[in-house]
Structure 1
Amino acid sequence: MTTAPPRPGPVLDGWQRLTDTVRQAEKTLSALPTPADRTAAQRAAADAVKNRARAERAGFLDMHADAVYDRLTDGRARELRIGELVEAAATAYPGLVPAADLLERERARPQADKEGHEIDQGIFLRAVLRSPVSGPHLLAAMLRPTDRALALLPEFRRTGVVRTTAVRLERRDGVARLTLCRDDRLNAEDDQQVDDMETAVDLALLDPEVRVGLVRGGEMSHPRYRGRRVFSAGINLKNLSSGDISLVGFLLRRELGYLHKLVRGIRTEHPAAWHTPYTEKPWVAAVDGFAIGGGAQLLLVFDHVLAASDAYLSLPAAKEGIIPGVANFRFGRYVGPRLSRQVILEGRRIRAAEPAARLLVDEVVEPEELDAAVERSLARFDGDAVLANRHMLNLADEPADAFRAYMAEFALQQALRLYGADVIDKVGRFAAGSS
């Protein structure tokens, strides 16, 4: 993508001041050893120049975020997903966000040896999302079906089956059955899983023969759980330690993409677009084994959740050191502030059989009865009035502007957490101990 240079004026002046600061920071950093090999004094020097550049970026975007966004999107005539948006910003405003080649080199390094350039993406996306003008436009762009899903739609309409690396999607009796099938890693989440899940959710929402969706974990080949169903072990900490979990491609795309689509639906041009551009459907989840971290976060966007009586849920944010997605925004709505803090801040595990679980799970049944209970729940959600009432419940429970404000701050705070010394140390020890 090519973009004309900024016109003379305040935006250009501010950007030129920013680029001067960024060049100085890059010069200082290039003279230092890689982050893992720096002395305490060298780390302090690196932090100082990076913080000066980040303060300059934040100040520039406080003043000009909407002007930048309008230039990148042709006055909001074009809809760019977050990945496309940061790439466009890197081309149009070098130094505002890291260039693609810089991120590619950074991605090849373990987390402990990165400079943290993704933090600059977090600064940019926080400014865009918190704008009442640009933010809603970006959220709307993220609710469009992906090109991958549109390409696979004819096959899915014809066969009712699509198999990807992380998700098996089958349409049967009007139900889109999404089975999480990373059987060797307990359905741990990574960039591939996010891409596959968004594709499957899009297909389920696009197919007019689908009336309700189901998400459930498949049988595992992992030695400890061989032959047993597992819902999700959450974020893949090995991938985080090795530097293979990205801010934009995983952490933000996950929340603004398929999870948000489960709540709001997808934006399409359809015959009923005169009253709503969204296509929504009800969703059911069934938990076998456990829903840890991202798995537990996922349950918060479903209309009905069932769990086997021997399952458990947890959000080990304090242990991992990162923010558990949008759980901090949604969890208290289900369980109240006290239990929310116990789970998120203290790592309390909730077992399906204990009373507190009924705040998060609609039905708890014996493992051998779960299949039948799932089918009964799917039948209950196959009704014409369900969609309208679901739409109004979600509108009341999660107003779009409140979600956008949360995601704006999350974009930066999660980026900062990714590069926290405690996170790098914890995930490094986890990866070493599980290898």
Structure 2
Amino acid sequence: MTDIENQPVRTEVHENTLVITIDRPKARNAVNAAVAEGIAEAVRRLDEDPQLRVGVLTGAERMFSAGMDLKAAANGESASIEDKGFAGLTEAEPDKPLIAAVEGFAMGGGFELALACDLVVAGSSAKFALPEVQRGLIAGGGGAVRLPNRIPYHLAMELILTGEKLTAERAAELGVLNRVTADGAAESTALELAAGISRNAPLAVKAAKRVSRTAARDSEQQAFTAQREEIRALLASEDFAEGARAFAERRSPNWSAR
């Protein structure tokens, strides 16, 4: 494990996984400009480093994030980055998978950060909410856009229009979460999921994410067109040849990401 300090966002490498930790516990890990810049830089590193396969996003001291730092916003500070959205992530579309490991509260922008990830793990006491309407705003970091596409429309609208809290148990019932863990175990469970993803061919993992993202956003026909191109490229890759050899030889493949 390598520990790299980058306050107020810390990054640690666990084998092939980059753990990105929002580290402002006194501010309930609220997102200000420095956090947005730190997350954007960490995601850039994740995508550009060939040794890294998966990212895990979490918060320090068992608190995921209270969302936007309203005090910083009142002083004119922006928590968004151009072309990358709130917290440098919600509109960034990273190439590699991201897993949210949620403990405590994921409020407003915190919930939107989790929704921007590909998988979500949460401790059993975690709470989620999009309370922006209670403060004269809307969930503009992806909550109002993504949630109706993740769960039934009427249930999404209840959360978006009331701002009421959602328990981890209910979030799992609705399909928002992949796993509910004991409190304090969200990060370790996310790392287990990341290890499972990392065992697979990195080119195929990125291609699968791109096709799934296209399918969620565009027409079915556009998704199939994109998928054909991805499969054509994968069939010509060294990793596909290695995967076939490893299967025939009954051994684990040695991926080269080429």
2:119 to 287, 297, 304: 304
What's the CA shift for 1:179? 0.9
2:19 to 177, 200, 214: 177
Residue 361 of structure 1 pairs with residue 177 of structure 2: yes
User: What is the aligned partner in structure 2 of residue 344 from structure 1?
Assistant: 160
Alignment of 1:172-321 (within 5 A): 172-219=14-61, 229-241=62-74, 243-246=75-78, 250=80, 254-255=84-85, 257-261=88-92, 263=93, 265=94, 280-321=95-136
- In the aligned structure 1, how far is the partner of 2:184 from the partner of 2:81? 35
- In the aligned structure 2, how far is the partner of 1:299 from the partner of 1:348? 17
RMSD: 2.3
Post-superposition Cα deviations, 1:126-169, rounded to whole Å, max 9, x if no partner, equal xxxxxxxxxxxxxxxxxxxxxxxxxxxxxxxxx95432222101
2:26 maps to amino acid:
D
SS at 1:381's partner residue?
helix
Alignment of 1:15-26 (within 5 A): none
- In the aligned structure 2, how far is the partner of 1:192 from the partner of 1:357? 35
Contact 1:194-1:253 within 8 A present in 2 as well? no
Post-superposition Cα deviations, 1:267-315, rounded to whole Å, max 9, x if no partner, equal xxxxxxxxxxxxx211111100010000100111212110001111000
Contact 2:102-2:186 within 8 A present in 1 as well? no
1:165–1:372: structure 2 CA closer, same or farther, 3 Å change rule? closer
1:186 maps to amino acid:
R
Contact 1:315-1:343 within 8 A present in 2 as well? yes
Contact 1:194-1:254 within 8 A present in 2 as well? no
Contact 2:172-2:180 within 8 A present in 1 as well? no
Structure 2: runs of 5 or more not aligned: 220-258
What's the CA shift for 1:188? 0.5
Contact 1:350-1:357 within 8 A present in 2 as well? no
Deviant stretches of 4+, over 3 Å: 159-162, 251-254, 355-358, 368-372
The structure whose residues are more often helix, as a share, is 1
Identity level (%): 29
- In the aligned structure 2, how far is the partner of 1:355 from the partner of 1:287? 12
1:190–1:355: structure 2 CA closer, same or farther, 3 Å change rule? closer
Post-superposition Cα deviations, 1:186-231, rounded to whole Å, max 9, x if no partner, equal 1101111111111111111111110111111112xxxxxxxxx100
Residue 373 of structure 1 pairs with residue 189 of structure 2: yes
Higher gyration radius (CA):
1
Structure 1: runs of 5 or more not aligned: 1-158, 220-228, 266-279, 401-435
- In the aligned structure 2, how far is the partner of 1:391 from the partner of 1:374? 21
- In the aligned structure 1, how far is the partner of 2:173 from the partner of 2:71? 29
Alignment of 1:83-232 (within 5 A): 160-219=2-61, 229-232=62-65
Contact 2:172-2:179 within 8 A present in 1 as well? no
- In the aligned structure 2, how far is the partner of 1:166 from the partner of 1:289? 19
1:370–1:197: structure 2 CA closer, same or farther, 3 Å change rule? closer
What's the CA shift for 1:373? 2.0
Post-superposition Cα deviations, 1:205-258, rounded to whole Å, max 9, x if no partner, equal 111110111111112xxxxxxxxx1000001122233x3333xx6275551753
Post-superposition Cα deviations, 1:42-64, rounded to whole Å, max 9, x if no partner, equal xxxxxxxxxxxxxxxxxxxxxxx
What's the CA shift for 1:355? 5.9
Contact 2:115-2:142 within 8 A present in 1 as well? no
1:368–1:185: structure 2 CA closer, same or farther, 3 Å change rule? closer
Give me the TM-score of the superposition, normalised by structure 2: 0.76
